């Protein structure tokens, strides 16, 4: 029996698969596959979440005013230009659905976030990739692939899964090449971790242009991955469009209150960033010392490259780590079959990963 036919592009989507959470046979596990916060959520966010329990019988305030006001206060933004979502993924999808027509093109870099082609195809648009240089987005390559059909350019900055970033001057050069009908979407999910003088998250570009959107998430540094909270800073016109089409109660009450408390707890956020800065450097240096190539990262994870040699390859290292309860992320679906992405974890987890990789390199059973 024939079934209803979906709109063009849907059946070309490979469903997104999140990081694994189980290691069969391991007595104790360390999940380093999803770039989650090793410090967890702010105690103030946990308290706000618990305090929202009395409100579960009522609908959320539709505009996420509590959360938008906290974001605006923290970053010095106009709350009317902030749109909140059920994770930043929802906002990426909304932008594609609102601005792409069938046959339009969505451009992103070769190893960009897997949600980009999904959002494009779900909107019946055509995903277009541009090659990277040293696992970093190449602005010249992106510009070369712009066409009159390009409606969106997605740039993850920093990029997941490579951990690399584009300096502000390169982002501005890319934007200067876009026509007024092409939207630059700066996915700054890992912005809080970056400590580089030449980096900008995108706030200034959004403030001064009508075709730039910046998206952020509370899943990473704020430790609220389980609540699914994200926000976008937009020009007024784009904010209006997204607010017309998003779900009327798309961010639930506990998420709004916990998110607002997390954003305002700057001391906890700084502690999380300090932890990441220390242990990102540790992982990068110690793993490189083992003879494995590590892509320089400014995120909360490292991309580690392995030889193609049977028994020494990325899939072999993945299995070796898994047997010790260390769950990392294979990135073959990102076009990186010879690499593993390893999240920065607790001190114990980070030291165990290095020790396990040392044994793997030496050929220990």
At 3 the pLDDT is 86
Q: What is the pLDDT of residue 11?
A: 86
Its pTM stands at 0.95
pLDDT of residue 346: 98
What was the pLDDT predicted at 13? Answer: 84
For 240-273, give one letter per residue: b (16+ CB within 10 A) or e: ebbbeebeeebbbbbbbbbbbbbbbbeebbeebb
Helix (H) / strand (E) element for 257: namely helix 253-264
**pLDDT tens track, the chain, 365 positions:** 788 988 888 888 888 888 887 778 788 999 999 999 999 999 999 999 999 999 999 999 999 999 999 999 999 999 999 999 999 999 999 999 999 999 999 999 999 999 999 999 999 999 999 999 999 999 999 999 999 999 999 999 999 999 999 999 999 999 999 999 999 999 999 999 999 999 999 999 999 999 999 999 999 999 999 999 999 999 999 999 999 999 999 999 999 999 999 999 999 999 999 999 999 999 999 999 999 999 999 999 999 999 999 999 999 999 999 999 999 999 999 999 999 999 999 999 999 999 999 999 998 76
> Domains along the chain?
18-40+267-362 (3.90.1150.10), 43-264 (3.40.640.10)
Dihedral sign for Cα 324, 326, 327, 333, please.
Answer: negative
b/e sequence 81-116, b meaning 16+ C-beta within 10 Å:
bbbbbbbbbbbbbbbbbebbeeebbbbbbbbbbbbb
């Amino acid at each position: 029996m024939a079934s209803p036919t979906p709109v063009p592009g849907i059946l070309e989507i490979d469903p997104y698969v999140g990081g694994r959470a189980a290691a069969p046979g391991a007595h104790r596990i360390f999940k380093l596959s999803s770039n989650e916060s090793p410090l967890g959520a702010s105690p103030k966010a946990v308290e706000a979440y618990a305090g929202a329990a009395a409100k579960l019988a009522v609908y959320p305030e539709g505009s996420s005013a509590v959360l938008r006001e906290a974001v605006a206060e923290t970053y010095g933004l106009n709350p009317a230009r902030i749109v909140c979502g059920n994770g930043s993924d929802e906002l990426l999808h909304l932008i594609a659905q609102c601005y792409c027509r069938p046959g339009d093109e969505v451009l992103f870099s070769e190893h960009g976030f897997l949600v980009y082609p999904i959002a494009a195809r779900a909107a019946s648009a055509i995903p277009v990739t541009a090659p990277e240089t040293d696992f970093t987005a190449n602005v010249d390559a992106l510009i070369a692939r712009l066409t009159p059909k390009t409606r969106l350019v997605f740039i993850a900055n920093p990029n997941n899964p490579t951990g690399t970033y584009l300096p502000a001057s390169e982002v501005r050069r890319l934007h200067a090449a876009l026509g007024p009908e092409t939207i630059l979407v700066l996915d700054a999910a890992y912005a809080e971790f970056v400590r580089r003088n030449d980096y900008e998250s995108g706030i200034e570009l959004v403030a001064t242009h009508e075709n730039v959107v910046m998206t952020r998430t509370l899943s990473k540094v704020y430790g609220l991955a389980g609540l699914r909270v994200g926000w976008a800073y937009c020009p007024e016109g784009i904010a209006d469009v997204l607010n017309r089409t998003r779900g009327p109660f798309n961010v639930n009450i506990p998420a709004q209150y916990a998110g607002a408390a997390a954003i305002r707890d700057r001391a906890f956020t700084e502690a999380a960033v300090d932890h990441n800065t220390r242990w990102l450097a540790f992982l990068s240096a110690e793993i490189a010392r083992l003879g494995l190539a590590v892509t320089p990262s400014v995120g909360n994870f490292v991309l580690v490259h392995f030889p193609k040699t049977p028994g020494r390859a990325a899939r072999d290292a993945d299995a070796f780590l898994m047997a010790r309860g260390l769950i990392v992320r294979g990135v073959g679906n990102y076009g990186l079959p010879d690499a593993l992405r390893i999240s920065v974890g607790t001190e114990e987890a980070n030291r165990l990963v290095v020790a396990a990789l040392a044994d793997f390199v030496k050929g220990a059973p």
